Chain A
Amino acid sequence: MIRFDELKVGDSLPERSHCPGNAYLFLYNAAIWNAHRIHYDLKYVTESEGYPGIVIDGPLQGDWLSQVVIEWMADEADMLSIKMTHRAAAYLGETLRAGGTISSIDPAQRDVTVDLHIRNEQEQVITPGQAVVRFRAA
């Protein structure tokens, strides 16, 4: 269990790797009712859209950012907000790492701001983000 009083700016949240396969990506797009061909049609995505491979959905990476936070805070806090920017695409077969670092702490409100990132295998941050969580009263 994490304790608000023990948190420090600069603390890292546990990182998690994601390497979705075709079936995983299919289920995600089915769950969100998304038929965009860049997520399953290799011939279309390479020949018509000029990408090197099947594109991993940006919002799926965004969900992984939220999971960094919720798995860390569990039921000790509530997420107040999250934001993210999809800077570069990622392709099926890549392993992406989702993680975060505490960037500020507001002891009065018990709010903690976490800087989030999705990194690709080249260590490039392709989706930076930020979340604010509020720890419940002790």
Chain B
Amino acid sequence: MAALLTPELMSCVGKSMPPVTEKVSRRDIRHYSIATDQQLEKYLRGDEAPPMFYQRFFEEIATLDRLQDDGHVDDPLVPELPLKRVMAGGCETVFHRPIRPGENLTATRTVVEMYERQGRTGPLIFVVIELKIAGEDGKPVVVERYTRIAR
């Protein structure tokens, strides 16, 4: 199999985005809790964020001209890959403490791994991104390794 991951593409491994800080509102938590059909009152009221709330909280709010044909926004952290159809691969997450409304969280995203494999339907590229979320005291809140698959 011809290598899809050229040295140029591989050079993004280790690259980070500048840290982003966002304030968590009760409304953000309630949106997420309703939209995931949470059952516990503390989540529905927005007193505490459900565990997986962190996952897309820092999604970039990009202008419409940056939407690609498939509706995705190009991720400035990952260069354009030779495979275009993207799907979620999975995640590994460590929780240090719950997220509460009103707090400022700071996220740093880093490409930690990139590899290719032969799948049932053709080649696949795996991009592993580490998301580190810290509180106002600088201590970790959540750390995730998220895998995105291009096919």
Contacts and interface: CB of A to CB of B under 8 A. Distances in A.
Contact of B95 (A33, A37, A38, A79): A79
Interface residues of B, number: 32
A125 to B, nearest CB: 13
A36 B72 contact: yes
A89 B31 CA distance: 25
Interface residues of A, number: 41
Contacts of B86: 36
A28 interface: yes
Interface string B70-113: 11110000000000011111111111000000000000000000
Contacts of A30: 31, 35
Contact of A31 (B31, B61, B71, B91): B31
Contact of B88 (A18, A33, A59, A70): A59
A22 interface: no
Given A70-B51, A71-B39, A86 B90 contact: yes
A58 to B, nearest CB: 3
A62 interface: yes
B88 A86 contact: yes
Contacts of B35: 24, 27-28, 30-32
Contacts of B94: 80-81
Contact of A60 (B36, B51, B61): B36
Interface in A77-105: 78-86, 89
Interface stretch (B2-10, B12-20, B52-60, B133-141): B52-60
Given A62-B52, A86-B87, A37 B59 contact: no
A8 to B, nearest CB: 25
A81 B95 contact: yes
Contacts of B56: 31-34, 59
Nearest to B55: A59
A79 B98 CA distance: 9
Interface of A: 18, 20, 24, 27-28, 30-38, 41, 44, 48-49, 57-60, 62-64, 66-67, 70-71, 74, 78-86, 89, 127
Interface of B: 31-32, 34-40, 50-52, 55-56, 59, 61, 67, 70-73, 85-95
